Structure 1
Amino acid sequence: MGTWGTGSFENDSAADFIKEVVEDGAVALREALEVVLDPELDYIEVEEGSRAIAAAEIIAAITSGDHRNITDADLLSWVEEANASSLSSQREQALDAVDRVLGPDSELPELWEDSDDQRDWQRDVQRLRSSLG
């Protein structure tokens, strides 16, 4: 996975996911969360984890009205037009997905573990958790 920063959208998986959301809307968000919340999934690969974090970030932006972390112009347009009330029920699911991605059976925290940017990544994910909770 190509990563250029610690933010929720600063990796290849999230960048690809943005395109899916712009094309498919809320369906893409729901699917990204459902994948990591599937009780039969034993281990969350980095791509699935990154997509779930990005989906949670989008849901947080829509339901809170705080769009600061949405930097892609097409995604920002989609977020600004999205119906917050229809996605508010997914906030808890998004928080559960973030928690599962941060858990011991997930590749994403393992990759950040040996990075000089681990604290920055953890801080950003905790900011996301707070905005969802």
Structure 2
Amino acid sequence: MNVWGTGSFENEVGAAFAQEVVQDGAFALAEAFDVALDPDTDFLAAEEGHRTLAAAEVLAAALTGDTGRVTDAGLRAWLSGAHPADLEPLRDLGRAAVERVIGEDSDLPDLWEEEDAAAWRADVERLLAALG
């Protein structure tokens, strides 16, 4: 898996997820959160963690209006037509999913220990704050 930065869309999984949202809308966000929170999943793989963070980034952008971290033009267009009130019900689910990604039963924290863990953790904490 290619990773070129700590941001939610700075890896091949997050970048590809942008296209899922353009195609499937809010369903893609809910699905990513549901997969991360599946009680039958004992360990969250890196790919699912990246999808979850990308979904949370999209949700945060829709709720706050801050699209500065959204790099995909199609996703920016989708966000311009999104209604925050329609996505608000996903806020708690998104926050819980991000917390699972940074938990001990997730692959991403271990992978980032080998790289720039402090910068990655700070970006995820920013994302959690944006989700309230």
Report the Cα distance in structure 2 between the residues aligned to 1:65 and 1:5, rounded to whole angstroms. Answer: 23
Report the Cα distance in structure 2 between the residues aligned to 1:34 and 1:45, rounded to whole angstroms. Answer: 14
**Partner amino acid for 2:26?**
A
Do residues 33 (structure 1) and 36 (structure 2) align?
no
Q: Which runs of 5+ in 2 are unaligned?
A: none
Deviations 1:38-59 (A, max 9, x none): 1111000001000000001100
Report the Cα distance in structure 2 between the residues aligned to 1:114 and 1:5, rounded to whole angstroms. Answer: 13
1:15 to partner: Cα distance? 1.1
Alignment partner of 1:125: what SS?
A: helix
Report the Cα distance in structure 2 between the residues aligned to 1:92 and 1:106, rounded to whole angstroms. Answer: 19
Report the Cα distance in structure 1 between the residues aligned to 2:83 and 2:124, rounded to whole angstroms. Answer: 24
2:74 maps to what in 1?
A: 74
Report the Cα distance in structure 2 between the residues aligned to 1:94 and 1:121, rounded to whole angstroms. Answer: 18
Alignment of 1:1-133 (within 5 A): 1-115=1-115, 117-133=116-132
**Partner amino acid for 1:35?**
V
**Partner amino acid for 2:128?**
R
**Partner amino acid for 1:128?**
L
Moved over 4 A (4+): none
**Partner amino acid for 1:72?**
D
Report the Cα distance in structure 1 between the residues aligned to 2:30 and 2:97, rounded to whole angstroms. Answer: 11
Report the Cα distance in structure 2 between the residues aligned to 1:89 and 1:24, rounded to whole angstroms. Answer: 17
Aligned residue-pair number = 132
Q: TM-score, normalised by structure 2?
A: 0.97
Report the Cα distance in structure 2 between the residues aligned to 1:68 and 1:10, rounded to whole angstroms. Answer: 13
Alignment partner of 1:41: what SS?
A: coil
The alignment's C-alpha RMSD in Å is 0.7
Of 66-75 and 54-63, more deviation after overlay is shown by 66-75
Deviations 1:43-81 (A, max 9, x none): 000010000000011001101111111121111110111
